[in-house]
Structures are given as structure tokens and as C-alpha cells.
Amino acid sequence: MHVRVIDSLEDFMALKPQYDALSSGTTHSPFSSHRWLAAWWDTYRRLGPVRAVCLSDEKGLSMVVPVQFSRGSIGRIPVHKVSFLGGGWGEVDVRYRGDAAAGAEELVRWLESGAAPSWSVLHFGPAVEGDPVSLGLMDAFARRRRASTRTVVPGPYIPLAPTWEAFAQTRSKNFRRTVKRKQSAADEAGLTVRLIVDPSAAQIRETVGRVSRESWQGKRGVALATTAEGVRFYDAVAASTGEFQIDLAVLEAQGRCVGYLLGLRQDGVFHAFDTGFLPEFAEHSPGSLLHYRMLQLLCDGSTVEFNFGHAHDYKERFDPAYRTKIELDFYRTPAVAGLAGTVGWLKRRRAALLRVKPKQEQGVS
């Protein structure tokens, strides 16, 4: 198996036809699409060196693993980290053909060679349970007697139906009543939801960008579109085409955008990505209104699943189903593994103490 390492965005752009061919006939995540990765590489390359590890056999390109080397931390101790490029937003989906385990072995061999930038921790995920590349990485590090940790994370999603009526019958009566009540109240308040398919960069700036700056996420500095790099990233994604469709649902009051839900649709799956609303409209439950309307629009026979991505308390009101996802951390040295183990134990201990504290206080009173 031949290994070629790409270190420039220009070379990665030239690889697009071959990269896309690796995804033929299978369901894939938009967060691992060439379009998404190229935008991330272009926007966030300052965070650390980016490399695309390309493996080929006698039939041609067989695997591409784009990774980024950056500064991370374990507890408050800084470490050198390597992870899937732009990972963490959605399921990591390494594009490959053939033997995934052999490809994972070659990736680890390159990472441990002198040719790779410095790293102490390899983070991989979230990935679906039983992902062949994940299993290959676990075997490759086990053969080298490298320590690792495996974290199970919930993956909430909602199976959809060809019509809204059919979907509603899979929900509880309380859910159906809530949808009608919320939408009737929104109508009375003059709130409407409009869908924009594949919005332009200007449309994203005027909706997502403007609302993000005034939302609670923006005020806390966690909204993607409130940073200069976030704006540039959205511009890059909107300027490109193919692989996935951008669906932007905007909640409007007298023509003014007061909330939004932005998602990516690919291979029959809608991936919710970014949402926000103006605080003064909180009493109208903007997030719920946008999700209800998007669910109605998606139940048209073209989409089979609404993927929430990450678990949050508010998503429980939609009664989602769950699939198991995993996150893997591989440690290059025993010292780093020991540090991670100590920090992990302290976090679990603190969480346990916080859980029992109210009971102790109640007993004293």
C-alpha cells in the first residue's frame, strides 16, 4: 500500500474527484464531505498543520484521512493533539475502499514516524458504533501496547415518514397537541417560518450572522457565526456546491428574522447544525417552532431521518431515538495516558460528589 501525504489545500482540491468516488453507493455524513473539509482547511488552517493521508493500492486511491495537528489540553495541562479535520460537529466518516484495518495501520505507522508533526493524543470521533476504521485504529494501537480510552456518547435522531400525518401518528397525543398549540400561538403573534434552500453567503450573514450576534450563544461567544473566521467559513461553504444541500429555516416577525435553524441534507438524512434566536422572542419558543416546521417540511418522502448530532436536554421534548456513538483517544506515551487517567478520575469523582451533595444537605436539615 502506497502512502502519500498532502499538505496543501491546492493539492486537496485537485483530489476531489477521487475523494468523491470513494463515497459512491454509501450513506455519508456531510461533515466528512470534500466540500466541508476544504472550507474548514481554508478557514481554520491557522489552528495547526493540516495533512491529508492518502493511501493507494493497485486499484488506485483507497483511503483518505484528513487530520489537523493543534494545541489541546488534558485538564489544564497543554498537549499536542491530532484529530480528524473539522471533527466534532458531526459523525466522523473516513472515506475508504477495501480493507479499513490495513488503512488504519498505515495511518498509525505514519503518525508514529518522524514525518508527522508532533502529537501526544489522537482523538477520533464521534463515530458510529462498530465503524471499521475505529476498530482498525483500536487494533493498531493495541498491537503497539498504546493506552486508549473509549467514551460512549448518545446520538439522538428521529425517524421520519413520507407524510406529516403519518409521522404525527408515531408521536404522542401530547406532542401533536403541543405542535398545534405552539403554531396557533405563533400565527396569532404574526410569526412565520420560511425555508431557504442553499442560501447565499449574503442570506446567511443577514439571518444566521445577525441573529447569532444577539443570541445567548453569541453573547457567550459560542456561536459560530459571531467570529470573523466563522463568517468566513459560512461564506466558503455557501460559495461551493455539491454533496449536500443547505436548508435554512428562518423565523420571521413582520419580515424580520428573529430565529433560525440551519441544517445539511445528504443521502436522505437532515443534520441539524446551527440554531439561534433573539432573546426577546423566547416566550414564543422559537427553537421549537423551527424544529416543528422543519419536521413537517422533511416529511415529504425525500428524507428518512432528522439527525440532532449531539444530545442536549431540550431535544428530549421531541422524544428522539438513540444510536450509540463513540469517541476514541489514543495516547502516544504512558505519561500522557496516566495524566488522562488521573484527570478522568477527578472529573468522575467531582461529578459523584455533586450528585450526592443535595442528599447530604437534605439529611442535615
> 110 and 228 share a domain?
no
Beta strand residue intervals within the chain, DSSP E: 2-6, 50-57, 60-74, 77-84, 95-96, 121-128, 148-159, 191-197, 245-253, 256-266, 269-277, 305-307, 321-331
What pTM does this model have? 0.91
> 45 and 108 share a domain?
yes
Grouping H, G, I as helix, E, B as strand and the rest as coil, residue 49 is coil
> 15 and 130 share a domain?
yes
Q: In CATH, what number is assigned to the domain containing residue 201?
A: 3.40.630.30
> 12 and 144 share a domain?
yes
Is residue 5 a contact partner of residue 64, using CB atoms and an 8 Å limit?
Answer: no
Q: Is residue 247 in some structural domain?
A: yes
In the predicted model, is pLDDT for residue 201 greater than 70?
Answer: yes
Q: In CATH, what number is assigned to the domain containing residue 128?
A: 3.40.630
Q: Is residue 361 in some structural domain?
A: no
- Domain containing residue 293: 161-303
Average pLDDT, the chain: 92
Q: Is residue 165 in some structural domain?
A: yes
> 172 and 243 share a domain?
yes
> 108 and 217 share a domain?
no
Q: Give the per-residue pLDDT at 177.
A: 95
Say how far apart CA 239 and CA 208 lie, in whole Å.
16
133-146 mean pLDDT: 96
> 170 and 271 share a domain?
yes
Q: Is residue 317 in some structural domain?
A: no
| Torsional sign, CA 318, 319, 321, 322 | positive
Q: Is residue 80 in some structural domain?
A: yes
Say how far apart CA 188 and CA 182 lie, in whole Å.
10
Q: Is residue 241 in some structural domain?
A: yes
Q: Give the per-residue pLDDT at 1.
A: 83
> 293 and 171 share a domain?
yes
Q: Is residue 359 in some structural domain?
A: no
11-15, 84-88, 140-144, 241-245: the lowest-pLDDT one: 84-88
In the predicted model, is pLDDT for residue 292 greater than 70?
Answer: yes
Say how far apart CA 200 and CA 39 lie, in whole Å.
15
Higher pLDDT: 362 or 189? It is: 189
Q: Is residue 315 in some structural domain?
A: no
Phi-psi region of 355 (alpha: psi -120 to 50; beta: other; left: phi over 0): alpha
Which amino acid, 39? A
- For the residues of 63-100, what is the DSSP string, one character each? EEEEEEEEEEEETTEEEEEEEETTTTSS----EE-S-H
Each residue's pLDDT tens digit, 10-67 = 999 999 999 999 976 778 899 999 999 999 999 999 999 999 999 999 999 999 999 9
> 173 and 149 share a domain?
no
Domain count, the chain: 2
Grouping H, G, I as helix, E, B as strand and the rest as coil, residue 263 is strand
Say how far apart CA 196 and CA 265 lie, in whole Å.
13
Q: Give the per-residue pLDDT at 354.
A: 80
Say how far apart CA 217 and CA 312 lie, in whole Å.
14
Nearest to 294 by CA among 323, 322, 264: 264
Q: Angle 100-111/132-143 helices, nearest 10 degrees?
A: 50
Q: Give the per-residue pLDDT at 320.
A: 94
